[in-house]
Structure 1
Amino acid sequence: MPADAPLALCEGHLAVAADWAGRTYGITDLLPAPCRLCGSRLGIHHPSGWICAVCEWRHGEVPDADLAPPRVDVVYYLRYGDRVKIGTTANPHQRFAAIWHDEVMAFERGDRMLEHRRHVEFDADRYPGTEWFRLSESIRSHIGVLAAGVDDPWRLHARWISEANAVR
């Protein structure tokens, strides 16, 4: 029995258990090619084939081009200089084309109700009559929490879209 084995089994029985677990639960590994739905490289290999570990799309299946994308509302945080716009949209690419900005700082799943809560939360930093806020420490902190572990907000948005597609 190996000294670091999780169970008191000999190497042969551990190998049998690992094979059984792989057949039953799949083996997490890199997909043969990026997921066509969300772009993830991480997959789960089952005896019946691969699925994406992020959105559970069956590897090799082609998404239906006629299927309209699902609606995923997001609250966004755009920086322009030392100001931040907090708004909401279901189509960030189209919306951002109409707004001057330097950086997409973060996305947060939510609709106008969440956007309104954020406006109230950060009201002390708000430029009156607008959706623009001073880039204060409290806003930086909130964005830091949203961005924790997320190197690119667009990848997070793509994951939400792919998850919504998988549910359909």
Structure 2
Amino acid sequence: MECALPGCEVPAEAGSSLQLCTRHLFAAYDQVSGAVGVTDVLPQPCAACGSRVGVRYPSGWVCAICDWRVGEMPDDDPVPPRVDIVYYLRVGETIKIGTSGNPRGRFTQLWHDELLAFERGGRPVEQRRHKQFGEFRHARTEYFAPHPALDRHIAELREGVDDPWQQYSFWVSQAIALRG
């Protein structure tokens, strides 16, 4: 059997589901693969994490941040997953190290100047940080004096993170995805 393209008299590739010769099969593959797996702006924000960056596949778009299939709605789960974080806030000339499973709600209760960073983890991680930076701690509080060691730790947490809230949204979307 010959290649189905007009003017091509080369035999079609044996076993192919398309009646095309090897040269034309590769040409079709090159045409399709140029648009597959390409990172681009999503046609709509991701419903799971709000990202605008996605990867285009033949089966559709996938969010580049949380891997949610664009167009699918996240489950209407009445109880969002709990993602415990340790937060670092600048409050005047001090740094507060605390923990929360609901940072947006917690921050409405706390006066602060700037969110410095998030670290995934709950009370055990918070207690380790309080001990680690204990020599800079204001007695019996969660407030710490600025110090290069603490500044370095916060800088490490911020490395590659433009916005701690996006990082937190990613952790929440991961938790949703892990629920199945």
Classify the TM-score, shorter chain. 0.7 to 0.9
Equivalence for 1:98 = 109
Equivalence for 1:109 = 120
Q: How big is the shift at 1:39?
A: 1.2
Q: How big is the shift at 1:16?
A: 3.7
CA distance in 1, matches of 2:78, 2:68: 15
User: For the structure 1 residues 14 and 88, does the alpha-carbon distance in structure 2 shift closer, same or farther, using more than 3 Å as the test?
Assistant: farther
User: For the structure 1 residues 66 and 124, does the alpha-carbon distance in structure 2 shift closer, same or farther, using more than 3 Å as the test?
Assistant: same
Q: CA RMSD in A?
A: 2.1
Matched, 1:29 2:40: yes
Structure number with the bigger relative contact order (C-alpha 8 A, sep ≥ 6) is 1
CA distance in 2, matches of 1:20, 1:64: 32
**Equivalent position amino acid for 1:103 in 2:** E
Q: TM-score, normalised by structure 1?
A: 0.83
- 2:157 corresponds to which of 143, 146, 152: 146
Query: Taking every aligned residue pair, what percent have the same amino acid on both sides?
Result: 51
CA distance in 1, matches of 2:33, 2:176: 31
Equivalence for 1:87 = 98
Q: How many residues align?
A: 155
- Unaligned stretches of 5+ residues in structure 2: 1-24
Q: TM-score, normalised by structure 2?
A: 0.78
Q: How big is the shift at 1:154?
A: 0.9
Matched, 1:165 2:180: no
CA distance in 1, matches of 2:105, 2:49: 19
- Unaligned stretches of 5+ residues in structure 1: 1-11
**Equivalent position amino acid for 1:131 in 2:** E
CA distance in 2, matches of 1:152, 1:54: 13
CA distance in 2, matches of 1:18, 1:153: 39
CA distance in 1, matches of 2:113, 2:89: 7
Q: How big is the shift at 1:107?
A: 0.1
**Equivalent position amino acid for 2:127 in 1:** H
